[in-house]
Amino acid sequence: MTETAALLSGIKVLEIATFVFGPGAGAILSDFGADVIKVESPGLGDPLRHAHKSPPFMKLDFDYAWQQDNRNKRSIALNLKSDEGREVLLKLVREADVLITNFPPHVLARLQIRYDDLAPINDQLIYGQITGYGEKGDDANTPGFDGNAYWARTGLMDAVRTAEGEPAMPSPAMGDHPSAMTMYAAIMTGLYKRERSGKGSKISTSLMANGLWAASSALSGILAGTRPYRRLNPAKPGSALVNYYRTKDERWISLIVIQEEKHWSNFLKAIERPDLANDPRFAELAIRFKHAKELGAILRDIFCTRNCEEWRQRLRDNKITFSVVATFEDVIDDPQALENDMFIDVEGHNFGRGQAVNSPFSIDGSDKVAAHIGSALGADSVGILRELGYEDKQIQQLTERGAIEAH
């Protein structure tokens, strides 16, 4: 770590957001030194605090899912439905640079914390609004999680299944985290705009918009009039070298050989089948595509004769583009991930390796701050109120009246 101030030191962020999408963006801001204050409801707070106790999450006596996206943050438990709680929030807004929320539009209207409500008291505020399906239309207030708004609604869930397979649910938050990157990018763009204009602005994005962006390479074809997207059928591939194959030890190899003509001879060396070069079904690229089903069947028989590690080495030696289909257990020991700091140590995290997944980019000369676990619900309420000028007697009164929860 360098001795210079963190890149976003001095930026104050209010996070009125639950689950992963919004908090993920806040986590990235915190990685670069922003002071992120998480505003939570008294009682249970962010529901993700408790997700590790029930499916689809893996059970553990540690709130790992919540900590992944709430490291470094301070927590104030604030009753936004009370007049006194709202008064505290407005004081926080006056000092904030950024606000992130995923409350539905009708809830924001009821609580009077829409951009139009807050901009008059802080015209430099960057107001980041997150929705499931966008702010207009019949589904503007429909709850959206990544499994439905990002994966199912956008066609991704249908596209990634095999031709004969049923739709599969994604791993938790697989759509939320890339969407969080979009919100982070929008926030930084908003801050840049403020530097040029002196004024804040509202920025917004949705799970559905991010899912469509993720699917855009295929969707652009549909928009241009192509036939519907063809789901992969490993038994009937369009190209036998863009497919996956089971190895002798029950692992899987994913081949992605796009420039097939360039790599065909090396591929035959890797699988020790030079005879296939003289097979009239596979001699030329266009003909090989027509006979991809036959070639795929041959490759299935070949790949099941060796263990995964041997195939890994043979394919690497011959410069073939591939990947072993890794398990999560594999990934945490992947030398490439470790060498490139894709996992980070988290101070105060005493379970397993005490690590979390790092945010996926770096900036030369601007180190991230050392990570520490996020605060317990309401753990920073008193300190934050003192920073706003509240005296201990006033804080006690707010606590007694249920406007705040402090620990």
The enclosing domain of 288 has a CATH number of 3.30.1540.10
Residue 224 lies in a domain: no
* pLDDT computed for residue 377 by the predictor: 97
Burial of 42: CB neighbours in 10 Å, binned 0-12, 13-18, 19+: buried
- Assess if residue 343 is contained within a domain: no
Does residue 360 share a domain with residue 317?
no
pLDDT in the model for residue 163: 87
Mean pLDDT, range 373-395, rounded to an integer:
97
pLDDT score for 3: 61
Is 227 inside a domain boundary?
no
Please report the beta strands in 125-238, taking only residues with DSSP state E, as ranges in sequence order. Answer: 126-131, 201-206
Same domain, yes or no: 309 and 360 = no
* pLDDT tens-place string over residues 16-28: 999 999 999 999 9
pLDDT at position 1 is 42
pLDDT tens digits, residue range 100-128? 999 999 999 999 999 999 999 999 999 99
What domain count does the chain have?
A: 2
pLDDT digits (tens, 9 = 90+) for 1-16: 446 899 999 999 999 9
End-of-domain residue from the set 330, 345, 367: 330
Q: Which domain holds residue 282?
A: 242-330
185 and 79 part of one domain? yes
Please report whether residue 382 resides in a domain: yes
pLDDT in tens, 281-327: 999 999 999 999 999 999 999 999 999 999 999 999 999 999 999 99
Omega within 30 of 0 (cis) for the link into 56 = yes
- CATH code of residue 88: 3.40.50.10540
Tell me which of 263, 295, 330 is where a domain ends. 330
Q: Are residues 357 and 313 part of one domain?
A: no
Q: Are residues 149 and 248 in the same domain?
A: no
Q: Give whole-number Cα distances, 164 to 55, 171, 179, 215, 216, in Å.
A: 27, 21, 29, 21, 23
Distance CA 386, CA 398 (A): 13
19 plus 148 within the same structural domain: yes
Letter for the amino acid at 187? I
Asked which of 330, 364, 394 is the last residue of a domain, the reply is: 330
Pair (373, 255) in one structural domain: no
Q: Looking at the domain assignment, is residue 6 inside a domain?
A: no
- The rounded distance, in Å, linking the Cα atoms of 227 and 131 is 31
Residues 161 and 48 in one domain: yes
120: buried, middle or exposed (CB in 10 Å: 19+, 13-18, 0-12)? exposed
Has residue 346 been placed in a domain? no
Q: For the chain, what is the largest distance between any 2 Cα atoms, rounded to a whole number of angstroms?
A: 89
Q: Does the pLDDT of residue 53 top 70, yes or no?
A: yes
Same domain, 44 and 146: yes
321-350 residues labelled b (16+ CB within 10 A) or e (exposed): ebebeeeeeeebeeeebeeeebbbebeebe
Mark whether 193 and 317 lie in a shared domain: no
Same domain, 121 and 171: yes
Strand pairing report for 35-40 and 12-16: parallel
Task: State the pTM of this model.
Answer: 0.94
Question: Does 309 lie in the same domain as 398?
Answer: no
Q: Are 179 and 150 in contact (CB under 8 A)?
A: yes
If one counts every other C-beta atom within 10 angstroms of the C-beta of residue 159, the result is 16
Assigned domain for 201 exists = yes
Mean pLDDT of 47-59: 88
User: Which DSSP letter does residue 275 get?
Assistant: G
| 134, part of any domain | yes
